Structure 1
């Protein structure tokens, strides 16, 4: 294992990668990087597991042949370099073929998450001006309600519509890849912000170099690994690091075509011999809740586990070590950045509970105050990327929209963090999530982590509720484990538990027991919804006496 400090000092890009990063290389194609380059290696590229237990394996040679044919299908529909092709499909081989075929034409792939309703789909297609949407029979009906929907290609199309497999079979088998520059986009993503409609951003081809760095140093993807990223390719973490990252390194990816469950997760890990796993804390907390039903069949099978999407609670870290005998590491990133701050499996450095880790080589991550000055250790501020000293930072702004995230040479993430003495950085919360109570600043994540350590709690969300005396008071929304019922006694028990674990002013003065917490489709906690609900309740209560 390489030393982290040495990896940073010796960070050097290849001549090809350097040219790509500066947009000086007009010889890049994502299908070539993620498929053609590895043809003839006799290694699997895709291992697909169906929900009924059927397993199929595809080599890079097979994917190249399929992507070439489907590229000709798209080309016949007028798709050219720079055009958008949207995919609304579950994790099937047809999805990967669609992505690679789009890239082969030098076109831009746009993911549409299968849980989206017609309005969410319509907004994204309207913004992207996609020429073609590729979908499956189960999602096809959503597009009937999309105003201005482009041409649709369907896996299992009804009579009279363009069918994926029929068109594929009839297509020509030769299609040369269209070469582009490092600054040309190959993905069009949409952020899921806390307010306003989702914003589009283009991911340039040079980002592939950064994706590879994450797979190599943070994930520690090795040739002997069987890798599974649980994230859906309809979102950034899945598309960047379940598709682009591993395939660009010539490594197989795993698709499970079914809903996430404890049983399916254990079955796939055992059956396919998964050794390297990546996913979200939401998924991992479900596994913990299952206890021995999950841990017993797979104990000792995993070599490395990585977590992204939300901060990793210390209780989750301890459970994976104690129950599965494997190290799980926390990773931080954004759709706009990819992963940039990690506890690296492949690099040697200190790891402390609650820390998101160190900057991935090729990035300089700093903490800024409100005046844009870099802060020393021990003082919370905004996580920022020094773009002048981060050659792997590829985000250039939102497509067609202004952004306030660029201030001087810095990109401001909007997340509140704190620099530690050892150089690592700890996540505090989204800037809007940090609670100010009686003059103290409290990160909701710390309180949530303390609550989750109690056996009665499965999940928790903590917000600041407006209060005339304290500015805000801490309120917790708690999902209970099976066998526990909400009561005044349990509320007090949880309050005292947090006071003991943290400090006197950080305990939740109010606790509400709920059946579920609001989350994005990718599993990120949406605390702002809870805050808005509390404000609305207060306003209604204040208005009631006056109206009476």
Structure 2
């Protein structure tokens, strides 16, 4: 394990970094970095597992040849350097071929999450101006409802099922083109991905990811995920989202390491099957996925105990109960990692670097980033004072985000990029997550982070999930309200609600326990599994306004 300080010291001198990130990265191609460079005889790039138990393996050489064929097809359709190619595809080899082929000709790949409906797809395709979209038979009907849909290529089912008149057939077209296509060389500033934010508080915004970000993706995969040559690696995140395509495809393939695709729903059965069949030792995913596994209890734990070396988590902060469960039941360390679509992963408890790890802390700045905590006047705060997590761009050579496409952002203030998340600096230099700025609750003059309350609730055996918000209150400004999902063996009674209130009160403080608890069957989340507390908060605001209006009319 490398020392954290020595790893970060490598990035101390800006001129050295500029030479590394701009000089040596002046002739880049993402397909070369993530495929050609590793196309040695027999070297496996992809382990694929189907939902029915079928499986296949693909080498870097096979992917290189198929990507070249599809790249030639794209060129024949007029797709050029900088054009966008969208993929509305599940986790199959076709997805990987489309990604690599797009990169090969210097075009920009745009991922589309397969759970999106027609309107979400239409917004993203319209915003990007994509020249072509590749889909499969299952998702093809959605595109029929998309206005001004670009050229469509369909991966057909058995006997050509799903092909619509006017579509190109994916595999048929590959057979029409040669397996050689010279890669288009670009600079580190040229884009290779077009991403969209999740749009939790408004329309999703587009942003370009430049080629130089590949260095940061590889660094995270090496330092935080600690991906080793002997590891069998599985990132369960969907490649329709940032964590999946940044660190489930680009980072590991850029290191020449094979990846794992499971084409099916995330379930206890499928997770156990893939881990055992492929000997997965290095697993990454989201807290939502891990809570589902914990619900499997002892049977799940017995089936995979001893298989995993390490586990990494991203997307939402890890509750302490999840960390303890993995340690107690699987004898494995799970670490929390923080990042955003806009910047990748910048704050981590690094598996591959030697530094202190404390439960509840998001970790330390990733090498190549200087992370600070700012007050409302954008001044850097000292230890123990909550403020906005920001990246000091002047001293963060690995930071690659340059703004949203076609939108002026207020996230850049001077040399800082403001994340919008509230955090605290700890005495040892690590940083603890408090919550989104809009999520922090002000009650009776106190500031309460919803994450701490949610973590305390989840430790109660009855609670599966919880979301905590501030409800408008004339006396306290806001009062703490919790929305709770409980296990099937429990009943949603006033007695249980009171038990949960006192449970949290004893563990936290008298001002931060939930004065109201509402039992719900599910919590609002983004398609990638992030809690959407703002939906619950807006519902409570609407209720308060309605009650005020009713009282006034009476």
In the superposition, the TM-score normalised over structure 2's length comes to 0.97
**Structure 1 counterpart of 2:172, from 166, 169, 172:** 166
**Structure 2 equivalent of residue 147 of structure 1:** 147
1:98-497 to 2 correspondence within 5 Å?
98-156=98-156, 157-158=162-163, 160=165, 161-497=167-503
Match of 2:523 among 495, 500, 517: 517
Deviation digits for residues 425-471 of structure 1 (CA, Å, limit 9, x no counterpart): 00000000000000000000000000000000000000000000000
Q: Is the 8 A contact 1:17 1:209 kept in 2?
A: no
Cα distance in structure 2, aligned partners of 1:152 and 1:266: 36
Give CA-to-partner distance per residue, 1:82-140, whole Å, 9 cap, x none: 00000001100000000000000100000000010111000101110000000000000
State how far apart, in whole Å, the 2-side matches of 1:57 and 1:358 are: 37
Unaligned runs of 5+ in 1: none
Q: Is the 8 A contact 1:17 1:206 kept in 2?
A: no
Q: Residues 57-96 of structure 1: matches in 2 within 5 Å? A: 57-96=57-96
In structure 2, what is the Cα distance between the partners aligned to 1:409 and 1:158?
A: 51
Judged with a 3 Å threshold, the aligned counterparts in structure 2 of structure 1 residues 406 and 14 are, in CA distance, closer, same or farther, namely closer
Say what the alpha-carbon RMSD is for the aligned residues: 1.5
* CA gap 1:16/1:84 in 2 versus in 1, 3 angstroms: farther
Task: Report if aligned partners of 2:14, 2:395 keep a CA contact under 8 Å in 1.
Answer: no
- CA offset at residue 22 of structure 1? 2.9
**Alpha carbons 2:25, 2:212 under 8 Å: kept:** no
Runs of 4+ in 1 over 6 A off after TM superposition: 12-17
Query: Number of matched residues?
Result: 548
Contact 2:14 2:397 in 1 (8 A): no
- Tell me which moved more, 73-82 or 271-280: 73-82
Q: CA deviation at 1:26?
A: 3.4
Question: Does the aligned pair in 2 maintain the 1:20–1:183 contact within 8 Å?
Answer: no
Q: Distance in 1 between matches of 2:23 and 2:264?
A: 39
SS at match of 1:57: strand
Distance 1:395 1:17 in 2: 16
Could you tell me whether the CA contact under 8 Å between 1:207 and 1:392 is conserved in 2? Answer: yes
In the alignment, structure 2 segments of 5+ residues that lack a partner are 157-161
Please say if residues 23 and 183 of structure 1, whose CA atoms lie closer than 8 Å, have aligned partners that are also in contact. Answer: no
Kindly indicate whether the alpha-carbon contact (under 8 Å) linking 1:356 and 1:426 is maintained by their aligned counterparts in 2.
yes
Residues 405-437 of structure 1: CA distance to partner in whole angstroms, max 9, x if unpaired? Answer: 000000000000000000000000000000000
State the alpha-carbon separation in 1 of the partners of residues 10 and 192 from structure 2. Answer: 29
Query: C-alpha distance in 2, partners of 1:290/1:231?
Result: 20
Partners of 2:11 and 2:333 in 1: CA distance: 26
Shift of 1:195: 2.0
On the 8 A contact 1:382/1:415 being kept in 2, the answer is: yes
TM-score by length of 1: 0.98
C-alpha distance in structure 1 between counterparts of 2:13 and 2:383, whole Å: 30
